[in-house]
Structure 1
Amino acid sequence: MRSASRSRRTLETELSCRLDLDGSGKYEGTTGMGFFDHMMTLLAKHAKMDLSLTCKGDLEVDTHHTVEDLGILLGEALKEALGNKEGIRRYGTFYCPMDEVLTRTSLDLSGRGYLVFDVPLTREKVGDFETEMLKEFLYALAIQSGTTLHVTTLYGNNDHHILESVFKSLGRALGEAVSTDGTKDIPSTKGLL
């Protein structure tokens, strides 16, 4: 079973996560931020992964510590659940239209964490989510999971739609990359990822 449970405790946050790569797309728990819970629901649903979170963070300060630590934790869980990456497709790309928005996410489960981020956001917040935290979350996820991640919003102007299209396209691309082809092959000429 390709799953992992991780926890992280700092002076600012106390988090736990369970991730099942071969799930049905179910999200349980709360981040303490309604809008970010909505994004986690979209990510799990479109990746067809089961994700469960418990989260206590210093949201009275702001969302930074909680969102960044969730990215770290989810990245660690993804890396652990993938194991040696036998039989995975490795690459994933998805273009997500969301009304006037079009976002492209391309990723490689290469073992080398990297983020290319080109998502123009104009509002400080959408709901209770600070929009500048999108990049922090994606960076932490990419680095901790060892994923080369390129996220680009090609056009659009409604920040709510942009954020939704980012998480939907990330979910679809991730779901494609972690899917298996039925072999025990490591998809690399190096023989490991």
Structure 2
Amino acid sequence: MERSIYSDFVFVEAMYNQGYIRKQCVNHYNEVKKVTVREYLPPHVVVYIDVPVPELQRRIQQKGNPHEMKVSSAYLQDIENAYKKTFLPEMSEKCEVLQYSAREAEDAEKVVEDIEYLRYDKGPWLDQDDRTFHHLRMLVQNKLEVLNYTTIPVYLPEITIGAHQSNRVFRKFLELPGRRYSPGYNADVGDKWIWLK
């Protein structure tokens, strides 16, 4: 579970600690999370693979992505701290948690075996029935309803855009090749026989 509604707060905390976002942004995130997370069920199991920050930085340098190479060790350390001090204790109350070092996680058969031997005897999954599962499925397959949970009218420059900026982005989008008209009606991308359609 690299990024989800249950674990993404670690990035928010790290960004705030490093001064990338303001406290108002953190408060907005917490408000949205409070409204949305109660509608969903946590995972049955969390597998946490602990890779030390120096090893992460070595892998990032090896990968060579210029944007990732700019990530500071302090930011990565804040993410690790949030996972270990907040995320894992919270999740251990709601679901099964397995923790491995990077070396231990390389043994995939052992990890699978550990998952198979879990009892899965805690969390809200035990209280569900067909009706509640149906309600959850109907919710998650309706993208507009899911989006409604996150629509809280607050302007924060770090995470929202204003009307004028939104209009500029939309106008630029329409200038892209093939975006001015419906698919099949854009001569600029080679659509033919437009007048016969």
Higher strand share: 1
TM-score (norm 2): 0.26
Structure number with higher helix proportion = 2
Kindly indicate whether structure 1 or structure 2 has the higher relative contact order, using CA contacts under 8 Å at least 6 residues apart: 1
Structure with the greater alpha carbon radius of gyration: 2
